[in-house]
Amino acid sequence: MLDRATAPIIKDPIHFNFELPAINTHALSNGLPLYWLHAGVLDVVEINWIFDAGIWQEPHQGVANATAALLKNGTLSKTAKQINEDLELYGASLKIGASNDYASITLHCLVKHLAAILPTIASILFEASFPEEELEIFKKNALQRLAINLKQCEFVANQKIDAHVFGAQHPYGRYTTSASLEALSSDVLRNFHKAAYQMNTCKIFMAGKVGPQEIDLINRYFGATTLATTTTNVNNEFTISTEAPFKSFIENDANAVQGAIRIARTIPNRHHPDFAPLVVLNTLFGGYFGSRLMSNIREDKGYTYGIYSSQSSYIHSGMLCIQTEVGRDVLQHAVDEIYKEMDLLLQESIEEEELLLVKNYLLGSILGDLDGPFSILQRWRSLILNGLDQQTFQKNIHTYKNITAIELQQLAKKYYNATDFFEIQVV
């Protein structure tokens, strides 16, 4: 019996043993890989279909996102209305989107409804027709959103910083324009769908109340498809901009009272040995609410409600980006304080108490992620799509626990020199 008279021993996350639950791999009848995890007590399931159909693969700006958005807006056998009615009837959630490297289709539903919903998903994947009338509605709405967004300093800043860091013609740096939206056609989307949504590039992930019956259902609808022996070449080779970092000031609204700041540079992706140590350094610098940037620019100076430093990993590169919105009158003051904090990383050793706090925060966040089937699946999905394995997870945990202040200072001297960053101010 629990002795409530004695307080439990409190352990910091740094002292926990971390284990990423194993994921199962099953080859469908056609050889397509299914990664599945049986976990959780609720009768729900999450399924992800991942394709090499992201912005990297698109032939023109906007094609990948438009294709993903219109996948469920009409097939050879179902109208958009019928598809939505099918999903609503069974209380299912379907999200489709394109990122820099991939397109993803994510289904959430009750396990008991899976057999009824999968035919609709199969129709979306195999029979998408991209009706002209649906495309016109999409373009009209997208153009309206773009016009509104272009008035927002933070939206413009996000566009411009990517273009500066990677290059305006690089897939990671391109952004959708009104001209690229107007140029979209059903034929372009159909061709991209045919080229990029080939099942031989697909990986399927499933978690929740998963058993033999659910695996058989996946095999029934997606294992019978004959896989192409070759992949249509839709991706090209791109070179990241070799332009020297520079500062840019953009007046988007002469009457604006608020401005957006973006300070960014390329970094190696998660395959590089520096990536995991950079996670610790970035967390300390601006990666959580107790970070140095938040303490200085929000709590001390009161310039902003929030300032963050994010670390992104893509298949072909990575990016470190500091972002915030502040009053126009303190725009340069905030920028100066950001560079001041950068310089402190280079010049002063991190105190052990601060480092321990950051480690516990980072490891505590990971512990929370390991508490549910869908978040566990997300970690596995990230590893598998990047060609990594469970050993990588354990190596990262070891780095987070054991990295020293000296190592972090050396890392800062390598990646946090102010002259290596592009800077954008937009008002």
- pLDDT recorded at residue 40: 78
Q: What is the pLDDT of residue 4?
A: 75
73-96 pLDDT, tens digit per residue, is: 999 999 999 999 999 999 999 999
Report pLDDT for 369: 85
Residue type present at position 290: G
Which residues of the chain fall short of a pLDDT of 50?
none
Q: Which residues lie closer than 8 Å to 67 by C-beta, 6 or more apart?
A: 53, 98, 103, 130, 189, 192, 193, 196, 197
* Side chain identity, residue 241: S
3-state secondary structure of 393: helix
In our burial notation (b when 16+ CB lie closer than 10 A, e otherwise), range 190-213 reads ebbbebbbbbebbbbbbbbbbeee
CATH class of segment(s) 21-222: alpha beta
CATH class of 247-426: alpha beta
For 314-395, list the strands marked E by DSSP: 318-327
**Range(s) within the chain of domains with CATH label 3.30.830.10:** 21-222, 247-426
Report DSSP state, residue 290. T
Amino acid at 242: T
Give the model's pLDDT for residue 235: 54
Residue length of the chain: 427
Taking the C-alpha atoms of residue 180 and residue 408, their distance in angstroms, rounded to an integer, is 43
Confirm if 313 and 280 have CB atoms less than 8 A apart: no
Q: Please write the tens of the pLDDT for every residue from 177-221.
A: 999 999 999 999 999 999 999 888 899 999 999 999 999 999 999
Strand order in 33-38's β-sheet?
24-27, 33-38, 203-208, 44-51, 103-110, 93-98
First to last CA, the chain: 62
The pTM (predicted TM-score) of the whole model is 0.91
According to the model, what pLDDT value does residue 17 have? 85
Residue-level pLDDT at 232: 53
Instruction: Give the separation between CA 287 and CA 321, rounded to whole angstroms.
Output: 10
